[in-house]
A and B are shown apart, each in its own frame.
Chain A
Amino acid sequence: MPDQAFEGTADTAGGARTAPPAVRVQGLWKRFGEQIAVAGIDLELPAGKFIGLVGPNGAGKTTTLSMVTGLLRPDQGTVEVAGHDVWQDPVAVKSRIGVLPEGLRLFERLSGRELLGYSGRLRGLPGAEVDKRASQLLDVLDLAGSQHKLVVDYSTGMRKKIGLAAALLHNPEVLFLDEPFEGVDPVSAQTIRGVLERYTASGATVVFSSHVMELVESLCDWVAVMAAGRIRAQGTLAEVRGDAPSLQNAFLELVGAGGRSTGDSLDWLGGGTR
């Protein structure tokens, strides 16, 4: 499987935009013991786009997003967000990004409203402003009814929504979401989608990881495909999809999993033989 790379897409796809890319990653490596999670990736994600980072389980998506957002120290390589180095200039970066990680807890013994209040005030926003924004976010995300319930009693969809609210509260330039739709019911997913689309329409950038291709295809205008710790392709949706009928097919082709079928091994399975 050859590595496909689409150089210089930031300029062609971004049109008139001359601002620095939302994220620039160079030579990023991460190794856990024997296993190489991220094997020297280079990425340039244009600002103002809805960007999907796709790949099978274990491709290194979460590790990459963790290193980009400052949650995990890379072994090697540099990461810049909106032109600022994540590890050299944390003050500039941390105020500009919002994060919704996967597999990490929230402060679950706070109620939804308390969590937003805590998060906003820690970011240095004035209390009154935090409360105003929190009320609006709770309303829009359909959490107002459970705002006084502890987050520990929330369902998966509600947790993702309150996490999203906490990530949006300080109006970041770039939003990083790790599997924001995983385990989320269709109604909550639609709500999250609506909020994200409104947010990107205003010029902000969303980077989210997923392994649901249909979702990425319908939401994103820019895609990076990851497999086994490497970037297999990056570019606009049309560029990555190429001649394939759908992103799903293009993806399977890229990660080398196309054309695998069950064959005759399950020939006993099916109705009518009982």
Chain B
Amino acid sequence: MTSTSRSVPAASPSASALTPVFVRLKLSLLRNGLRQSGGRRAAYITSAVLVLLFAALQLIGLIALRGNAHAGTVAVLVVALMAIGWTVMPLFFPSGDETLDPTRLVMLPLRPRPLVGALLVASLVGIGPLFTLCLVLGAAITSAHGTGAALVAVVAVPLALLVCLALARAVAAANTRLLTSRKGRDLAVLSGLVIAVGMQFVNFGAQRLGDSGGLSALDPVARVVRWLPPASAIGAVDSAGEGAYGRAIAQLLLSIGALGLLLYAWQRSLVKLMTTPDGSTLAASDASRKESTGKGLTALLPEGRTGTVMLRTLRYAWRDPKTKAAWVTSLAVGLIVPVFNALQGNGTVYFACFATGMLGVQMYNQFGQDTSAFWMVLQTISSTRDAYLELRARALALLLVTLPYTLLVAAVTAGMLGDWAKLPEVIGLALSLLGAMLATGSVASATLAYSIPQDSRKNVAPGQGGIAALSIFGGMLSGAVLCAPMIALAIWLHVSGSHASLWLLLPLGAVYGALLCWAGLKVAAPRTAARLPEILSAVSSG
């Protein structure tokens, strides 16, 4: 930044003077980020190598596809996917690139037009743009046939890359207000979840695509997408290769027009951002919300600590982005695994237990989910009885969701497979598993608490990874061991041919699960009461 402050006496600098400054700023930010720690450097280099390797493979793959009937389709769609990625990325990774945040430049005497130019050039620096360049280049090579197409490609490749970058910048600038507010940061925490669940659908979609005759299924989509910038730039290369020069020029012009529009929109939001106060104190829209839902729920819950803690736990599951992400992931994955397996015809009703297991994990590290606000709980626990009530209430809040959900998933899976006979035993096994998870979860909460950082995507504070792994894997292992008698009974009933008695697993499982849960709470309560300050310090480092 020193070079700017030296060169700003009265007039604001021009674009040509500004561009090298911003490129150097970007490079120093990158370099200083790496200088902070060896681990960070190693992680960055590893990810850079992996990304570049992946990009090289894609490039080779795309070049190898040259001559294939569907090469044009793939090229256009790859670029379109890249553009979607660039559009969504700034919403989920707002802090990923500090130069993306124009509010940091507010105090500098800069005019918007040179600023936009300089920022655009600076954003070409990085792994992301390099990766995109590889893909766009590959897409152009695979669809370029003939000299005309090659000439068009020379324009199309940088054009497509610039549209992608301008897209990211325009989206980021337009949403800076949102991204720097609390709601925006909440959104960012939920992004991991969107990606996790999205992957399941992409995976499923790809399998379906493989079944239904390959790439030709995508041709109609490509016919539309090749008119959408920035994919239209690559579409132009293909069109030029086919000799349709009029179409090629129209497609190129579309991309150029889009770039112009994006730059204009970006400049407008920049001006607006830099001339109005910042949005960090953006008022929450729910300021006037009434407690209607709370009142209705409070009436149904028991009095005293039990109801109070249950209500707080359920409110947090809904309002706290970290807790919400964990819950929604468990609910979604717990349903997706048995249902998708059933859809593909290789499922069994037993997979319904997966949903129970996923939700049971929520009982682990209960106090870590409180963060350092656990001190408020600590101040009110003065006996083993208090600790027992606290843990039991948290288990009950979990049960309130998990119990009906287990029944639902089991019923849905059984219905899809048409295997209703297995339903009682599956529910019985699921209930004993649930009891075991709640039992081991409450013991792990008391003895192996760890911090969950609130402001990052991580779920374990640095240095506590070992405790977290021990807590969850040790807990799951001992949960499985605790369930073993029920599993053994189920196997024995099957092997010995006593299919008529299999329904017995349902009541047995329910009673066994309840007993396990009760015993677990009884074991955990005195440990919680005795270790309150230790738990507080364990959960406060996030």
Contacts and interface: CB of A to CB of B under 8 A. Distances in A.
B242 interface: no
Contact of B373 (A69, A108, A114): A108
Given A71-B533, A114-B291, A127 B309 contact: no
A133 to B, nearest CB: 15
Contacts of B372: 103-105
A178 to B, nearest CB: 11
Nearest to A66: B533
Given A99-B375, A114-B294, A122-B380, A70 B533 contact: yes
Given A72-B537, A122-B305, A91 B383 contact: yes
B363 to A, nearest CB: 19
B536 interface: yes
A107 B370 contact: yes
A168 B43 CA distance: 48
Contact of B383 (A90, A99, A153): A90
B534 interface: yes
Contacts of B316: 107, 109
Nearest to A115: B376
Nearest to A109: B319
B165 to A, nearest CB: 34
Contacts of A108: 373
B304 A121 contact: yes
A106 B373 contact: yes
B104 interface: no
A71 B378 contact: yes
- Residue of B316, B320, B370, B382 contacting most chain A CB atoms (<10 Å): B382
B312 interface: yes
Contacts of A48: none
A124 interface: yes
Interface stretch (B281-289, B354-362, B519-527): B281-289
Nearest to A67: B533
Contact of B315 (A114, A122, A149): A114
B303 A113 contact: no
B515 to A, nearest CB: 28
A235 interface: no
Contacts of B378: 70-71
A113 to B, nearest CB: 7
Given A71-B378, A71-B536, A148 B287 contact: yes
Given A105-B371, A148-B289, A148-B290, A94 B379 contact: yes
A73 B533 contact: yes
A166 B373 CA distance: 13
A72 B374 CA distance: 13
Contacts, number: 98
Interface string B293-325: 010000000011101110110011001100000
B182 interface: yes
Contacts of B182: 152-153
Contacts of B320: 109
B370 A122 contact: no
- Residue of A71, A95, A111, A146 contacting most chain B CB atoms (<10 Å): A71
Contacts of A95: 382
B34 interface: no
20 contacts: A69-B379, A70-B378, A70-B533, A71-B379, A71-B533, A99-B379, A105-B372, A105-B373, A107-B376, A110-B312, A110-B315, A119-B376, A119-B380, A121-B307, A122-B377, A124-B305, A149-B284, A149-B287, A150-B284, A152-B182
Nearest 7 A/B pairs, CB to CB: A90-B382, A121-B308, A109-B319, A122-B380, A104-B372, A91-B382, A105-B373
A123 interface: yes
B166 interface: no
A125 to B, nearest CB: 10
Nearest to A151: B373
B77 interface: no
A250 B537 CA distance: 35
Interface residues of B, number: 42
B366 interface: no
Interface string B247-287: 00000000000000000000000000000000001011011
B284 A166 contact: no
A148 B380 contact: no
B288 A148 contact: yes
B532 A70 contact: yes
B540 interface: yes
Given A71-B375, A107-B370, A121 B382 contact: no
A166 B291 CA distance: 19
Contact of A123 (B284, B315, B319, B380): B380
- Residue of B294, B373, B379, B383 contacting most chain A CB atoms (<10 Å): B379
A74 to B, nearest CB: 9
A52 interface: no
A129 B319 CA distance: 27
Nearest to B322: A109
A107 B373 contact: yes
Contacts of B307: 121
A141 B533 CA distance: 30
A71 B320 CA distance: 24
A119 B375 CA distance: 11
A150 B182 CA distance: 11
